[in-house]
Amino acid sequence: MARETLNSFAQQKLDDLEAKSLRRRFVDTDRLGPALAGRDGKTLISFCCNDYLNLSYHPEVIQAAQDATARYGVGSGASRLVTGNHPLFRQLEQRLAKLKQAEDCIIFGSGYLANSGIVPTLVGPKDLIFIDELAHACLFSGTQLSGARHFVFHHNDMGHLEDLLKTHRETGGHALILTDGVFSMDGDLAPVEALAALAKAYDAWLMTDDAHGIGVLGEGRGSSFVKGRKIDVPLQMGTLSKAIGGYGGYLCADQPVIDLMRTRARTVIYSTGLPPAVIAAALKALDVIEANPEFAASPLKKANRFTQALGLANAQSPIVPIVMGDADVTLAASALLEREGFLVTAIRPPTVPTGTARLRFTFTAEHRDEDIDRLATLVKEKILIKRAAE
Ligand SMILES: *Cc1c(COP(=O)(O)O)cnc(C)c1O
């Protein structure tokens, strides 16, 4: 019976994952405030939310979303090329292009949809992709969808990337270099300047995924801006789902590239436009960020309070990982913190490489210093010292 084989296939997969401590489950999580989560009737201070500026709770952002819903309705009703292109899209695209100092911008339904759409629009089977081994899963999805031959370079290893470019660049048509700007599970930054130089030298197109950079680095402009100067990154991709507080993805680039996306990117053409409320909220979030660069910088400051308390290297972004190794050890550490009132989810393979399961701490503008200090003490005394003794 087909239905029985289907179900037993699924059950077998689940059992295998369970045995390896790799099965994942949704847990109902109520948002009780900017940095507070409710689970099983308990209030936890969340250190694992990507809402770095807590803008998903900002009163003006909420108001903007409500006003847009009242005016334009709940959903956009169709793909943007049909009737789903409410006027807020254009406003937001212009704002993002300005922020990123690019000629133009296009909004996608999410960051995942953006990368799945952008990469196959730019390269195909005759072309090449060079991608950092720790790049986000959706950059790999886009790579697979494109059918381009691809080469994975060691994380942030410019020597390895150059070797690969030297050996293979001549064997393909166009070449695309893909990397996260801020690595989502490690919190470190790509060497964007060095990448831009290699891209130039080997005639490759550089694309950075700045999901965790926009809003919080470079005065809110993201990881392609270092000390107020823009590095030459022709394809600046990112999301509205993290520091911007809502949902959606974008690409900022020169005019012909964006116009090509409008007419060819399958995830734009064949997917419904984002709801008006989401776009209006992002516009208001950008107002808040641009009006207050110090506020934008605060999550990184909070992260550094934590790293300093623990004697770790300075944080480069609001993300701080503590690699534990095994999945079950990491789950136990996460459960310990939860009993103490902190929500810090265990990150396990395949989200991170095997043997590098970790606690991933994210810091937000509204975290109180005393909570960060208490968390650091707990981590030091109950997790790190215990681990060192084993
Ligand atoms: C979260 C994330 C994405 C996906 O963005 P969504 O808008 O959540 O789909 C893409 N790239 C990176 C690096 C991310 O961290």
CA of 324 to the centre of ligand 1 (A): 24
Of 128, 112, 108, nearest in space to 265 by CA: 108
**Cβ(179) to ligand 1 under 6 A?**
no
* φ, ψ of residue 341 in degrees (nearest 5): 95, 15
> Closest residue (by CA) to atom 7 of ligand 1?
111
Q: What is the mean pLDDT of residues 174-192?
A: 97
CATH no., domain 57-291: 3.40.640.10
**Cβ(111) to ligand 1 under 6 A?**
yes
* H or E segment to which residue 36 belongs: strand 36-39
Q: Report the alpha-carbon distance of residue 192 to residue 223 in Å, rounded.
A: 8
Hey, what's the torsion of the CAs at 132, 189, 247, 358, to 10 degrees?
Answer: 80
pLDDT interval class at 164 (50, 70, 90): very high
- 239 and 255 Cβ atoms separated by less than 8 Å: no
Write down the mean pLDDT value for the chain.
96
Tell me: pLDDT of 123 over 80. Answer: yes
**Cβ(184) to ligand 1 under 6 A?**
yes
- Bond before 350 cis per omega within 30 degrees: yes
**Cβ(107) to ligand 1 under 6 A?**
no
Of 325, 305, 322, nearest in space to 314 by CA: 305
Residue range(s) of every CATH 3.90.1150.10 domain in the chain: 23-52+318-389
Tell me: pLDDT of 389 over 80. Answer: no
CA of 13 to the centre of ligand 1 (A): 26
Q: Report the alpha-carbon distance of residue 200 to residue 385 in Å, rounded.
A: 47
Q: Report the alpha-carbon distance of residue 25 to residue 41 in Å, rounded.
A: 18
pLDDT digits (tens, 9 = 90+) for 206-236: 999 999 999 999 989 999 998 889 999 999 9
3-class DSSP state for residue 367?
A: coil
Read off the pTM.
0.96
Q: Report the alpha-carbon distance of residue 380 to residue 241 in Å, rounded.
A: 31
Q: What is the mean pLDDT of residues 58-63?
A: 97
Catalytically active residues, by annotation: 184, 212, 242
Q: What is the mean pLDDT of residues 39-53?
A: 95
> Closest residue (by CA) to atom 14 of ligand 1?
211
Range 54-58 contact pairs with CB under 8 angstroms and sequence separation of 24 or more: 54/245, 54/364, 54/365, 54/366, 55/215, 55/243, 55/244, 55/245, 55/246, 55/281, 55/285, 55/288, 55/289, 56/31, 56/245, 56/246, 57/31, 57/33, 57/245, 58/245, 58/284, 58/285, 58/288
> Residue 210 CA: which ligand 1 atom is closest?
13
Q: How far is the CA of 105 from the CAs of 58, 120, 165, 236, 336, in angstroms?
A: 25, 18, 29, 9, 44
CA of 48 to the centre of ligand 1 (A): 15
pLDDT interval class at 242 (50, 70, 90): very high
CA of 82 to the centre of ligand 1 (A): 26
State residue 99's pLDDT score: 96
CA of 184 to the centre of ligand 1 (A): 8
Superfamily of domain 23-52+318-389: Aspartate Aminotransferase, domain 1 (3.90.1150.10)
What is residue 380's DSSP assignment? I
pLDDT digits (tens, 9 = 90+) for 272-328: 999 999 999 999 999 999 999 899 999 999 999 999 999 999 999 999 999 999 999
State residue 388's pLDDT score: 77
Q: Report the alpha-carbon distance of residue 179 to residue 237 in Å, rounded.
A: 10
**Cβ(360) to ligand 1 under 6 A?**
no
**Cβ(211) to ligand 1 under 6 A?**
yes
